[in-house]
Amino acid sequence: MLLFNLDRVILLVLLLTGACISHYFGGARHGRWPTIPWKSARLSGPRSKGTPHDLVESLPSPKSKEKAQAMLRNVVKICPVCGKACAVTLSNCNSCSADLTHVDESFTENALMSFALGIERTSKYPLTVSVRDQSPSYLCYDDLLAVSPCHLNVIPTDKYIPDWRWLLTRPTRGLRIIKSLYGIAKRVAVEQFLSNHDYVREMYSPEVAEQILKDPRSFVEEYAFVGFNYPPSQMQLHLQFALPPLTPFQSYLLGQGQNYPDLRSFDYHYVEEVLESVVKSSQTIDISNLTDAAKLVEHIREHTGVDYYSHQRKIAAQHTSQNIAVANWKADNFDFMIVPTSSQTNEDVVFSLRSGEVVFNVSSTAIVARDKLTLQNYGRPYSASGEPTGNYYRYAKHPDSIEDWTN
């Protein structure tokens, strides 16, 4: 019965929008995918009670206050629909896809540096995090954005490096740092996600699942989405690491070119090649006048020969095709098919996969928000009230002990 109705839905979609369409499953059913709980040997409390502002005010010296204040502030655009803090160069929210073209810049509290400093909360929410791995020099955690069921961030915690450009000023050390962050993410992905056979068999197509179970490390090295954002929405170097498949909604955005966009997304291997070239030439790159991403990549090309655009075209095509190839999203596990019909009006049509009829009393935005909670591994296991759980960074620092790469 479901297959008949699915065929009917697809036919209706074609009649509604024409043959060149995009659509995605929505209404993920609870309990259909194994979850991967975050791990910690023990619960840790905050090092600093209150908010980032409270920490700054508690510091005795003007020099310490100035340093901490600079580390604990972001310049962003706030999404008017979902409230996410987005990078100032984005034209659409990278969480809900809402239009940001007329949104003004503003300041927010730097959550990533707050994690490193063990601050209790921002002015709006607690600063616990879904910890995957940690040491005195790094923190690996689930990304709240959760573009994929396995979406990790890894940050250095003993250094303040606002974005990846600063690695060009100390390229030898910068290269060591990113290789270390990448190695941590790969290990967590293999040991905590791909070691779970039930997770692998449900998440991946049968052929790919068998390959993963035989050699998970090779799968990670070939398929993982890894890189850095510039400008970031959180001003601390963080390696973004996601295993495909992306969630159905994020897969749709990827196909539309809204995920990993040019001059915002910088693939790990591009950054690695740039740093290796700079190290080999025994030079550094002055970034003081390279705040514009287009000027940055052109300057890098002139000095190293590494071309951003050719690399980006290759990796974008690779991500899109591989994301489709590995996915095992099944209609049986979803209630709806969602069809965005117009990028100008943001009107989506929601079809029931059970009846094949258009559903008028649900919004695609609400469906996507619920699906994120169902499909993400951030904060697993959830609390008795259904909220994500988390912990504080065990090795939290005092601001004065952080090495500031901007000096």
Structure tokens at 169: 């000023």
Residue 3 has pLDDT above 90, yes or no: no
Q: Which of 73-82, 172-181, 249-258, 339-348 has the lowest mean pLDDT?
A: 339-348
Percent of the chain with pLDDT over 70: 93
Helix or strand run (H / E) with residue 178: helix 171-188
Calpha distance 313→302 (Å, rounded): 19
Residues 140 and 186 placed together within one structural domain of the fold: yes
Picking from 15, 3, 7, the residue whose alpha carbon sits closest to that of residue 349 is: 15
Residue 14 has pLDDT above 70, yes or no: no
Residues 23 and 94 placed together within one structural domain of the fold: no
pLDDT tens, 43-57?
899 999 999 999 999
Task: Show the domain range for 23.
Answer: 1-30+330-377
Residues 16 and 120 placed together within one structural domain of the fold: no
Structure tokens at 208: 């790919």
Number of domains forming the structure of the chain: 2
Residues 289 and 344 placed together within one structural domain of the fold: no
Angle between helices 293-304 and 308-326 (to 10 degrees): 110
Residues 23 and 82 placed together within one structural domain of the fold: no
Residues 235 and 195 placed together within one structural domain of the fold: yes
pLDDT tens, 372-393?
999 999 999 999 999 999 999 9
Helix or strand run (H / E) with residue 359: strand 358-359
pLDDT tens, 293-302?
999 999 999 9
Residues 389 and 321 placed together within one structural domain of the fold: yes
Cβ contact 194:216 at 8 Å: yes
Calpha distance 247→327 (Å, rounded): 9
Residues 225 and 284 placed together within one structural domain of the fold: yes
Helices (H), 342-388: 364-375
Residues 304 and 325 placed together within one structural domain of the fold: yes
Residues 202 and 216 placed together within one structural domain of the fold: yes
Give the CA angle between residues 280, 282, 288 to the nearest 5°. Answer: 115
Calpha distance 337→359 (Å, rounded): 10
Residues 248 and 347 placed together within one structural domain of the fold: no
Cβ contact 205:325 at 8 Å: yes
Give mean pLDDT, residues 121-137: 96
Any residues with CB less than 8 A from the CB of 321 and at least 6 apart, and which? none
Task: Name residue 73's beta-bridge partners.
Answer: 109
Residue 238 has pLDDT above 90, yes or no: yes
Instruction: Grade residue 344 by pLDDT with cuts at 50, 70 and 90.
Output: low
Helices (H) and strands (E) in the chain, counts: 13, 15
Residues 2 and 65 placed together within one structural domain of the fold: no
